[in-house]
Chain A
Amino acid sequence: MMRAPYMVIRVATRLTVPVLLLVLWQALAMASGSARMPRPSAVLAAGLALLASGDLLAGLATSLGRVFAGFFLASAVAVPLGIVMGSVRPVERNLDPLVESFRPVAAIAILPLVILWLGTGSIAAVVIVAYAAFFPVLINTIAGVKRIEPNLMRAATTMGVPAITRMRVVLLPAALPSILVGMRIGLGIAWTAIIAAELAVGAKAGSSGGIGQMMFVFYAYSVELNGIVVCMIAVGLVALCLDWVLRAGLTWAVPWSRG
């Protein structure tokens, strides 16, 4: 009997601040009277329209497809490379300066080169995403391999487990939690990068599709502020969902670290 009111109170307390902000936003927008000030009510209407037409979901699907393609490409290279760099000192000493000098170069900074080489289509977008996701996965894989408790490898060695098998049955599972954390960060960064890439690519031909390009069209051609805000909210919600799914996946994949 206590349960229902308790739930109501809990939901109400969580929603208080967002609702107050929405009310404040609406009031300020109405008071300003400016056409460049999007209003919550108008954003909601625009969002429903974009959902109904299927444009929003199609744009998100295109972007997500590129993100996953680039993310898997990045992981497929970064995980094996990170394992080698983490376990073979000379390889790490040779490659580390290279990695560290490319790492601060933001994905958006390689965009001009990528467009010149690969054009403005999906391949260019996937490459940018792969570049962005590559570093967090690599860095965390290296760290995970290096942090392995040395006695675990020694224990397997004294049991006569061959070196190649040790990589698979000791090194990989021991580094897995760290690798998955890197993949979670990498996917988040990949999602950020795809929006930036599509926004920038959109300026050129308007043929690349995706949620970022949709925003660009709203901005450059139709000056549709409500549409831009709808896209921003959609981007944020997708990021939230991606992170949620990856967290769940992490807990599922590493049951031994479940507290």
Chain B
Amino acid sequence: MSEAKIRLEGIGKTFELPGVSLLVVDDLSLEIRAGEFLAIVGPSGCGKTTVLNMLAGLERPSTGTMMLDGRAIEGPGAERGVMFQDYALFPWQTVQGNIGFGLRFGPAGRDLSRSEQDARVARVIELVGLRGSETKYPHQLSGGMRQRVALARLVANEPDILLMDEPLAALDAQTRMILQDELLRIWGQDRPAAARRTVVFITHAIDEAVFLADRVVVLSSHPGRLKRIVDIDLPRPRDDSTRKSAAFAELGQSIWELIRDEAYRATMR
């Protein structure tokens, strides 16, 4: 496999609340390889989102080191694009305004002329199937379409690393499967591994993690600790036949068994 893109060593995160300090992530060490699709799953309270926020540079770890391409992660950077769980679309921007936001105001579009930016926005709009909705505002869109806008905004900036926090969680089952397929296409599952971008994908849905990822990181909860890393050796490109395969079901089942007890405890509490 390829070299480590991101290296986490002994990462811990404690939130200091009035009167209590809350350990959310404990001693997490992990290597994320260039071009891999890495999913992180775990029951609620396993600190998935906190891990992602630390990778994004939005939160600092309390202990441990995070390296990206050999350099310490000190804060946010445009080479790490984030797709937020609530999409974080700018309500005053149209679909194309949202998608082109990073190109216009961030470093992603620094070397592009205005018309080159527009061309890239148009191409990405095509890619995620939003043609015809360019001038709509987010409040005029369905949940699935908003999600596509957020995905398109992430892709338009062409970040090295795509950090995605439960991007498909709010969608109905059909839309979700369609967008899983599209996500793999956009990531480049048809391309050679060297031409793919690195994806870190947070989800609570095991089947989603198995379907999308090269490796699934399973976390335990309270505090979040690394439980196991499961290699997903399902062949690519993956499609509906993957979802029907016995191997797919088995992998999902084995991950479910890893976290079942904790998931029950979290639900019954």
Contact = CB atoms under 8 A, between A and B. Distances in A.
A219 B86 CA distance: 61
Q: Which of A254, A255, A256 has the most CB of B within 10 A?
A: A256
Interface stretch (A15-23, A57-65, A66-74, A147-155): A147-155
A149 B77 CA distance: 20
Contacts of B264: none
How many interface residues does chain B have, given as a range? 20 to 34
Instruction: Give the dominant DSSP class at B's interface.
Output: loop
A121 B101 CA distance: 50
A255 B86 CA distance: 22
A53 interface: no
B58 A157 contact: yes
Contacts of A157: 58, 76
B114 interface: no
Nearest to A169: B105
B50 interface: no
Contacts of B138: 256
B58 A257 contact: no
Instruction: Give the dominant DSSP class at A's interface.
Output: helix
A254 B81 contact: no
Contacts of A169: 101, 105
Contacts, number: 69
A158 B137 contact: no
Interface string A11-43: 000000000000000000000000000000000
Contact of A156 (B56, B81, B105): B105
Contact of A161 (B88, B92, B106): B106
Contacts of A155: 82, 84, 88, 90
A158 B58 contact: yes
A160 B92 contact: no
B174 to A, nearest CB: 27
Nearest to A149: B88
Given A158-B56, A158-B76, A256 B91 contact: yes
How many interface residues does chain A have, given as a range? 20 to 34
A105 B35 CA distance: 64
B80 interface: yes
A139 B239 CA distance: 54
B144 interface: no
B84 A151 contact: yes
Q: Which of A152, A160, A257 has the most CB of B within 10 A?
A: A160
Nearest to A160: B78
B107 A154 contact: no
Contacts of B77: 158, 160
B102 interface: yes
A257 B81 contact: no
A206 interface: no
B90 A152 contact: yes
Interface in B53-93: 56-58, 76-78, 80-82, 84, 86, 88, 90-93
Interface of B: 56-58, 76-78, 80-82, 84, 86, 88, 90-93, 101-102, 105-108, 137-139, 157
Given A152-B90, A158-B77, A160-B78, 11 more contacts: A151-B84, A154-B84, A156-B105, A158-B80, A158-B81, A159-B108, A160-B76, A173-B90, A174-B91, A174-B92, A176-B92
The 3 closest A-B pairs by CB, nearest first: A160-B78, A159-B102, A151-B88
Interface of A: 149, 151-152, 154-161, 165, 169-170, 173-174, 176, 254-257
8 contacts: A155-B88, A156-B101, A158-B81, A158-B82, A159-B81, A160-B77, A169-B105, A176-B92
